[in-house]
Structure 1
């Protein structure tokens, strides 16, 4: 099993267990067209942390530590991360973590690293 990250808007979609990990539903995608197995929105960073980070790569190390702390200490995020871990451990399929951002989403890379 491999854990992939993929933008939900890509034409060619990877096969496997498809999990959207964004807090907000992607614009322009109908729920039926997303072909999702799960949407675990609570695993995403809080709005405050996302706004603080603002995709500034210079802040990546600090962001990663703050996000990991959220996943340990914020009850909703902790439960969502445990749910995600369970989904990963319960399948032999490849895992596709989906996101909507235009750029390669650094936030989702942290999740990928934590799950491997």
Structure 2
């Protein structure tokens, strides 16, 4: 179990901060309009992002978020990218999960943070 103070969630469009630690992009697709330099990503784990099918079903509808989180957790089982993310967090450094969605409360990074800190 990891403390929530170690795993943070930020938009990839936010200005990088000194306290971000390891910056991990958790989107399957690189966010539109964001350069690699501006993103300052240390690691891009695209395969840890939700499948295209799940992402399209969810459509960032807050009413579907709980079901999205449940389905997404199922998708992560056995994923090498999910294991890699857990390994990064287990190293004990501060980790910032970066997402490209406009909704800061209903996205895969929020789900990943909850899973990593429970």
Query: What is the TM-score with the length of structure 2 in the denominator?
Result: 0.84
| C-alpha distance in 1 between matches for 2:62 and 2:35 | 31
Which residue pairs with 1:49 in the alignment?
54
* Paired position in structure 2 for 1:17: 22
In structure 2, the partner of 1:61 is: 66
Q: Partners in 1 of 2:107 and 2:35 — Cα distance?
A: 25
Structure 2: how far apart are the matches of 1:59 and 1:87?
29
Runs of 4+ in 1 over 3 A off after TM superposition: none
Deviation at 1:68, TM superposition (A): 0.9
Specify the SS of the correspondent of 1:55: coil
Correspondence 1:96 to 2:96? yes
CA RMSD in angstroms comes to 1.6
Gapped regions of structure 2 (runs ≥ 5): none
* 2:20 alignment partner, SS class: coil
What residue ranges of structure 1 are gaps of 5+ in the alignment?
none
Could you give the per-residue CA deviations for residues 32-52 of structure 1, whole angstroms, max 9, x where no partner exists?
332211000000110100111
Post-superposition CA distance 1:40-74 (Å, at most 9, x none): 000011010011111112222221111111111xx
Partner of 1:4, secondary structure, is strand
- The 1:79–1:30 alpha-carbon spacing in structure 2 relative to 1, beyond 3 Å, is same
Residues 1:39 and 2:44 aligned together: yes
**Residue 86 of structure 1: how far off its partner (Å):** 0.6
TM-score by length of 1: 0.85
